[in-house]
Amino acid sequence: MRPAKIATLWTVLALVGCGGEKGETLATDTATSEASSTTASSGASETSTSSADPTGAPTTSTTSTSATATSTDPGTTAGTDTPDTGDPGVPSCGNPWHFATGKEPTTLIYVRTSGADGPDCGGEDSPCQTIEAAAAKATPGTGIRLVGDTFGPDIFVSDLAGTADAPIWIGGEFGQFPTIAGGGEGLHLSRVRHVVIHDLAIMDATANGINVDDGGAVDDPEATRFVAFERLFIHDIGEGGNQDCLKLSGVNDFWVLDSQFERCGAGGSAIDHVGCHRGLILGNLFANNGGNAVQTKGGSEDIEIRGNTMLDCGQRAVNMGGSTGFEFFRPPLTQDGDNAEARNIRVVSNLIQGGETPLAFVGCVDCLAAHNTIIRPQHWLLRILQETVTDQQFTFAPASGGRFINNLVVFDRADISTYVNIGGDTAPETFTFTTNLWYAADAPDQSSPAGDLPVPETGAIAGEDPLLINLTDNFYPTPASPAVGSGTPLPEVAADRNYGCWNDPPSRGAYELIR
């Protein structure tokens, strides 16, 4: 997809709210049109009218349908934010807000490749030439505004600090998508706070598209904190190895919203987390990625991956946990207790289509996969693995306490080896399976994974046609679907894939039936 196509779509999204209707994620030349075509079926839309707690962490829990927002402690993700859609029959839940919501720059510093760096650069008629020069002049409340088509790569910015009341923005005009192309990395930020990266295209970097880190301060949770990524198009990254479109290391309190990630390294991730905490990944499109759409490891905790579309995302569309060198853990590993690759990762209300396996619990403790619609994985329906194990120096908790609830899984039995792949050094007996719907489209009588599940499932539906609109590109349930109204209520799951509030009882899968 060319940036011009994205700009056109984001102009449409601007008319319906901060992120548009949830089904209107960026389209992709190689993907199905499900994201845009099904939105009209749901009738759900988003209109953000609430204000943000300027120091709050990502809000991921919604319990009210009022238009008020409850402030949160910066170190938690509890709270509410449920703007009124304007239609009392279609309440909206789970809308994102963050430190910059409702704010605008008070000063603009313009950057053009035809500009010239200097002490007086930055005006619209006398732009700076480089982002680095603009960043050196930026103070809280500044918007660094990129103007033009293509900028050179390997941009490095450190120690950039806005405030809760006056963030710093880096990006193009809304929907314009100036491009950073080539080089080793597109953009690298280190030790930053209260910064928004927005409306950019990053392409053709050999290492990472955007890299944000804490400057190696692995024991300082304040080093890089409060960072938002909005409306990015990162694609064609890496040289076939373990390279990532968006690499985050030691980033705390962050948001990745309404962006698109394609072809992010044959062995890498669209978004790779190492020791990141309190994040929300919402409303993004991931397509044709070799390793993962999202990976959370290295001590990562309290990250919600919600309402995204993942199409053909490689070996493990979402890798909850992974394998990390000991020196890279954030916080640093302790010899006095159980360490873990990841804890409390929540994968909810996503559409995951194709790829080898949609979800893998890999050394992940107390992690949740709920209300996902999973379509035709190519090898396994689920994996429970352990890659980082206890040694003489450090004790590691096994993959344990995982929950797999209210998911709707459609597959072809001919494509699946074992339904669930369970590796050694895990604690599968501690997992919970509740009210999932399993349907083998080519062999309905072979739909049940019960023989491969580590524990009995409660309330499973297996072998019944889910009666979706179709099994090709429109995965909404019809009113007669056995998924409708048969799920288990989960207060911690804020919304369906379209910001719709769940009924009581909720439907299984990523989409609630609008009644």
What is the DSSP secondary structure assignment for residue 217, as one 8-state letter?
-
Residues above pLDDT 70, as percent of the chain: 82
Instruction: Tell me which residue has tokens 């008319």.
Output: 15
- Model confidence band, residue 175 (pLDDT cutoffs 50, 70, 90): confident
Determine the average pLDDT of the residues in 126-148. Answer: 97
| Residue 416 to residue 374: CA distance in whole angstroms | 13
Within 13 Å and on the Cβ side, how many CA atoms surround 192?
Answer: 29
Q: What number of other Cβ atoms are within 10 A of residue 454's Cβ?
A: 15
| Residue 233 to residue 59: CA distance in whole angstroms | 24
DSSP string, 229-253: EEEEEEEEESSSSS--SEEEES-EE
Q: Model confidence over 335-376: pLDDT tens digits?
A: 988 899 999 999 999 999 999 999 999 999 999 999 999 999
**Is 16's pLDDT higher than 80?**
no
The pLDDT assigned to 2 comes to: 33
Phi/psi for 398 (5° steps) reads: -75, 165
The pLDDT assigned to 486 comes to: 98
Q: Looking at this protein, which amino acid is placed at residue 452?
A: D
Are the C-beta atoms of 269 and 289 separated by less than 8 Å?
yes
Q: Model confidence over 398-454: pLDDT tens digits?
A: 999 999 999 999 999 999 999 999 999 999 999 999 999 999 999 999 999 999 999
Q: Which helix (H) or strand (E) holds 287?
A: strand 285-287
| Residue 231 to residue 247: CA distance in whole angstroms | 16
Residues above pLDDT 90, as percent of the chain: 78
| Residue 467 to residue 189: CA distance in whole angstroms | 47
The pLDDT assigned to 89 comes to: 52
The pLDDT assigned to 240 comes to: 84
**Chain center to CA of 439:** 26
Are the C-beta atoms of 380 and 410 separated by less than 8 Å?
no
Determine the average pLDDT of the residues in 178-198. Answer: 98
Put simply, whether the predicted model's pTM sits higher than 0.95 gets the answer no
| Residue 261: partners with Cβ closer than 8 Å, 6 or more residues away | 234, 235, 245, 246, 270, 271, 284, 285, 286, 287, 289, 293
Q: Model confidence over 52-86: pLDDT tens digits?
A: 333 355 644 332 222 222 222 323 332 233 333 33
The pLDDT assigned to 501 comes to: 94
The pLDDT assigned to 57 comes to: 54
The pLDDT assigned to 90 comes to: 55
Q: Name the residue among 492, 346, 350, 323 with its Cα closest to residue 409.
A: 350
**Is 34's pLDDT higher than 90?**
no
What is the DSSP secondary structure assignment for residue 291, as one 8-state letter?
S
The pLDDT assigned to 28 comes to: 36
The pLDDT assigned to 183 comes to: 97
| Residue 145 to residue 215: CA distance in whole angstroms | 25
Q: Name the residue among 325, 304, 223, 319 with its Cα closest to residue 270.
A: 319
Q: Please tell me the least confidently modeled range out of 76-90, 222-236, 265-279, 477-491.
A: 76-90
Determine the average pLDDT of the residues in 164-189. Answer: 96
Strand partners, 342: 300, 364
Within 13 Å and on the Cβ side, how many CA atoms surround 235?
Answer: 22
Determine the average pLDDT of the residues in 380-396. Answer: 96
Instruction: Indicate if the alpha-carbon torsion angle 354, 25, 346, 248 is positive or negative.
Output: positive
Structure tokens at 30: 């190689």
| Residue 178 to residue 426: CA distance in whole angstroms | 46
User: Strands, DSSP E only, in 77-184?
Assistant: 80-81, 107-111, 142-146, 150-151, 155-158, 168-171, 179-181
Give alpha helix (H) positions in 68-184: 131-137
In angstroms, what CA-CA distances link 3 with 7, 9, 145, 202, 206?
A: 6, 10, 17, 10, 20
The pLDDT assigned to 125 comes to: 97
Residue of 55 and 476 predicted with greater confidence: 476
**Is 507's pLDDT higher than 60?**
yes
Q: Name the residue among 213, 211, 226 with its Cα closest to residue 330.
A: 213
**Is 29's pLDDT higher than 70?**
no
Q: What is the CA radius of gyration of the chain?
A: 22
The pLDDT assigned to 78 comes to: 29
**Is 223's pLDDT higher than 50?**
yes
Q: What number of other Cβ atoms are within 10 A of residue 184's Cβ?
A: 13
Phi/psi for 228 (5° steps) reads: -120, 140
Q: Name the residue among 225, 221, 214 with its Cα closest to residue 164.
A: 225
- Model confidence band, residue 512 (pLDDT cutoffs 50, 70, 90): very high
Q: Which helix (H) or strand (E) holds 12?
A: helix 3-16
Are the C-beta atoms of 313 and 336 separated by less than 8 Å?
no
**Is 12's pLDDT higher than 50?**
no
Q: Name the residue among 150, 154, 156, 108 with its Cα closest to residue 128.
A: 108
Residue of 20 and 184 predicted with greater confidence: 184
Q: Model confidence over 257-270: pLDDT tens digits?
A: 999 999 998 889 99
What is the DSSP secondary structure assignment for residue 125, as one 8-state letter?
T
| Residue 365: partners with Cβ closer than 8 Å, 6 or more residues away | 340, 342, 343, 344, 397, 399, 400, 401
Structure tokens at 424: 């050694």
Between strands 252-257 and 277-282, the pairing is: parallel
Phi/psi for 258 (5° steps) reads: 50, 45
**Is 191's pLDDT higher than 70?**
yes
Are the C-beta atoms of 90 and 76 separated by less than 8 Å?
no
Are the C-beta atoms of 408 and 466 separated by less than 8 Å?
yes
Q: Model confidence over 292-347: pLDDT tens digits?
A: 999 999 999 999 999 999 999 999 999 999 999 999 999 999 998 889 999 999 99
The pLDDT assigned to 265 comes to: 84
